[in-house]
Structure 1
Amino acid sequence: MSFSILQPPRILFGRGEAAKAAGLIRAFGNRVLVVHGANPDRASWLRIPEAEVQGLPCAGEPTLEMLEDALRRARGFEPQVVVGLGGGSVIDLAKALAALIPAPDGPMEHLEVVGKGLPLKADPLPFVAIPTTAGTGAEATKNAVIGLPEHRRKVSLRDDRMIARVAIVDPALTDHTPRSVTLASGLDAVTQVVEPFISCKATPWTDALTRPAIGPGLAALMRLMEGEDASARDTLAYTSLIGGMALANAGLGAVHGLAGVIGGMTGAAHGAICGALLGPALAVNRARSDGAARERIDEALGLLADPLGCAPVAVPEELAAWAHRAGLPRLSALGVAPADHAEISVAAVAASSSKANPVALTPDGFAEILGKAG
């Protein structure tokens, strides 16, 4: 048995914990760059006394062009600490800025797949993550996802030193998130406890995180589709955090291997893509697995069966049917045409997330998932 653990050195979880943010941020310096969503009013509650604060909006999932523009603006401010206050896209942009502001080279030196993928040459600035959605777990991961529309891809900037110094997960910040956003981001959160659990890189430590979170995470999301529920918000925020910690240490799988490619090609929301793929990927992985991998997938199906109220073998179909009844678009409605399946499948084989899938899928395996999700 051999494994390592990478996680933020300090994590605050619970309602009201966001009130401690100012003091924790101020401990890293008095020049603070706050990356927030498109509406700055949603970040106005964060006041940091005796600090010079510059806000930087992030509208949508970050692209290389957005990152390079933000870098120019941020370097002129010379921040000492970077804060990401918002959803996964905001946190990814903030994390990338914290990594690259001190870097002597540009983003293409360090981006995977389309760039050189080189390690950072300078330590990142201190980074504080405060999520306002429950989905990506980006507050606990070591990578930032950046879109390159001209390449029709999404790729990662990745380094162990990019992990947040402090992650503040206050579920109250997610209260009254719009229903469609809750559904898409919540399915991403569920996917990110399922995939690390069935991953070929799973460890006893990641199992201890993910196994107890799978069923309650889905159950909480299902309750939120019926109406606002503070307890369900708490559970889903916890599921998202656990997913981020688990994927940073055990990897993901076929869903995210496909989702990165599809997101780059279509611009569709990441959570919605993952939600459309999760059931079909579970079905294909189970059909193509045996031995310990099949046993692990069956255990995951059993954990999901209880909230769905079905037999474990029926989970892939029931999960997909429930998500679409709740309003999740099918993959074709997200911009994926059957003619694109072959190109997507070939690209997914080479995706970093696919390396942790419990089964080594070939392009035809990925194509089968896409066909089921269409």
Structure 2
Amino acid sequence: MIFTIHSPPRILFGRGKAALAADEALAFGPRGVVVHGAQAGRAEWLIAALRARGAEVLTLAAPREPLLEDLTAATTAARDHRPDWVLSLGGGAAIDLGKALAAMIPAPGDALDHLEGVGRGLPLTAAPLPFLALPTTAGTGAEVTKNAVIGLRDHGLKISLRDDRMIARVAIVDPALTDGCPRDVTLASGLDAVTQVIEPWLSVKATPYSDAIAAAAIRPGLEALKRLMQAEDPDARDRLAWVSLSGGLALANSGLGAVHGLAGVIGGRIAAPHGAICGALLGPVLAMNRELTGGTARERVDQVCATIADMLGGTAQDAPARLQGWACDQGLPDLRALGVDPAHHDAIAGAALGSSSMKGNPVLPSLVSVRHALAQA
């Protein structure tokens, strides 16, 4: 039994913990960059707290899932500021941009030197700046992962900038920051959180550590998301935030699977929320894996399906379809509605089969099986 555990040195979890963010950041120095989402107003309290303590703060927006040109522009602006640290307050887009920014500010070259696949894939030669993350959605778990996902519009791809040192020095998960999150965002990001505890549990790269974190979070994630689709519920927000954090820790240590293998390709082609893409794919990919796997892998898929059946009725066999139907009933769009042209299914399936996430899937599916899952989604 040999494995490595990757996680931030400090994780602060619980309501009220966000109030500690300014002091945590200033422990690394007086000059910083705050990356926020599209609505700058949500970060005003933090920026004010930092400046009240004498910090010199540059603010940058991440209004969309970051593209290479966004990272390049942000890096140029941030280097001129000469920061001691970078802090992201927002959803997965803001956290990914901030994480990549912390890596690129000290780097002698540009991002294409280090991006996987399309770029040169070179290791970082300079240590990233200290990075702090405060998620405002419960979904990606990016606050505890060692990579940042960057879109390349010209190539129709989303690929990673990755380094063990990119993990946040401090991750602050305060579920109060997710209170009142819009219902559609809660649904999409929540399905991503659930996917990110299911896929590490099914992954061929699973470890005892990732198993312990992921398996225990599947049912609470489904329960919390179901409750939040009925009404705002602080306890359900707390639980979903924990599931999201658990998913980030699990995937950082075991990888993902076919859902994210496909979502990475699709996300590079269309401007649709990552969580919505994952949510549309989860049921069909579970059905595909249940059909193709055997032995221990099939037992794990069946355990997931049995949990879904307990929540939504029916049997383990029809659980993937029930999950897909429930998500649709809650307002989740399918892939066609998100902008995926069925004429592109072959190309998407082919590209996804070569993705890093697909290597964690419990079975390497055929092109025909992946294409069928896309059609079902």
**Same fold by TM-score greater than 0.5:** yes
Q: How does 1:1-374 map to 2 (within 5 A)?
A: 1-46=1-46, 47-48=49-50, 49-373=53-377
Task: Quote the RMSD (CA, aligned, Å).
Answer: 0.8
Aligned residues: 373
SS of structure 1 residue aligned to 2:95 = helix
Moved more, 296-305 or 258-267: 296-305
Look up the equivalent residue of 1:198 and give its one-letter code: L
Tell me, which stretches of 5 or more residues in structure 1 are unaligned?
Answer: none
Deviation at 1:337, TM superposition (A): 1.6
CA–CA distance in 2 between the matches of 1:138 and 1:306?
A: 29
Moved more, 285-294 or 94-103: 285-294
CA–CA distance in 2 between the matches of 1:117 and 1:295?
A: 37
CA–CA distance in 2 between the matches of 1:38 and 1:296?
A: 39
Deviation at 1:299, TM superposition (A): 1.4
Look up the equivalent residue of 2:237 and give its one-letter code: R
Deviation at 1:305, TM superposition (A): 2.3
Q: What is the CA deviation profile of residues 331-373 of structure 1, one whole-angstrom value per residue up to 9, with x for unaligned ones?
A: 1111112110000001001111111000012322211110111
Q: What is the CA deviation profile of residues 19-76 of structure 1, one whole-angstrom value per residue up to 9, with x for unaligned ones?
A: 1111111101110100001221110111111211111111111000111011110000
Deviation at 1:113, TM superposition (A): 1.1
SS of structure 2 residue aligned to 1:3 = coil
Q: Could you tell me whether the CA contact under 8 Å between 1:197 and 1:300 is conserved in 2? A: no
Look up the equivalent residue of 1:30 and give its one-letter code: P
SS of structure 2 residue aligned to 1:312 = coil
Deviation at 1:303, TM superposition (A): 2.4
SS of structure 2 residue aligned to 1:112 = coil
Look up the equivalent residue of 2:316 and give its one-letter code: P
Q: What is the CA deviation profile of residues 63-108 of structure 1, one whole-angstrom value per residue up to 9, with x for unaligned ones?
A: 0011101111000001000001000000000000000100011100
SS of structure 1 residue aligned to 2:45 = coil
CA–CA distance in 2 between the matches of 1:309 and 1:174?
A: 29
SS of structure 1 residue aligned to 2:216 = helix
Post-superposition, which runs of at least 4 consecutive aligned residues in structure 1 deviate over 4 A? none
Deviation at 1:159, TM superposition (A): 0.7
Deviation at 1:230, TM superposition (A): 0.3
TM-score (normalised: structure 1): 0.99
CA–CA distance in 2 between the matches of 1:121 and 1:211?
A: 37
Look up the equivalent residue of 1:191 and give its one-letter code: T
CA–CA distance in 2 between the matches of 1:172 and 1:95?
A: 22
Q: What is the CA deviation profile of residues 149-174 of structure 1, one whole-angstrom value per residue up to 9, with x for unaligned ones?
A: 11111111011110000000000000
Moved more, 286-295 or 315-324: 286-295
CA–CA distance in 1 between the matches of 2:107 and 2:314?
A: 52
CA–CA distance in 1 between the matches of 2:365 and 2:318?
A: 22
Look up the equivalent residue of 1:12 and give its one-letter code: L
Q: Could you tell me whether the CA contact under 8 Å between 1:198 and 1:300 is conserved in 2? A: no
Look up the equivalent residue of 1:33 and give its one-letter code: V
Q: Could you tell me whether the CA contact under 8 Å between 1:142 and 1:162 is conserved in 2? A: yes
CA–CA distance in 1 between the matches of 2:322 and 2:231?
A: 21
Deviation at 1:330, TM superposition (A): 0.8
Q: Could you tell me the percent identity over the aligned residues?
A: 61
Q: What is the CA deviation profile of residues 94-141 of structure 1, one whole-angstrom value per residue up to 9, with x for unaligned ones?
A: 000000100011100111111111111110000000000000000010
Moved more, 44-53 or 267-276: 44-53
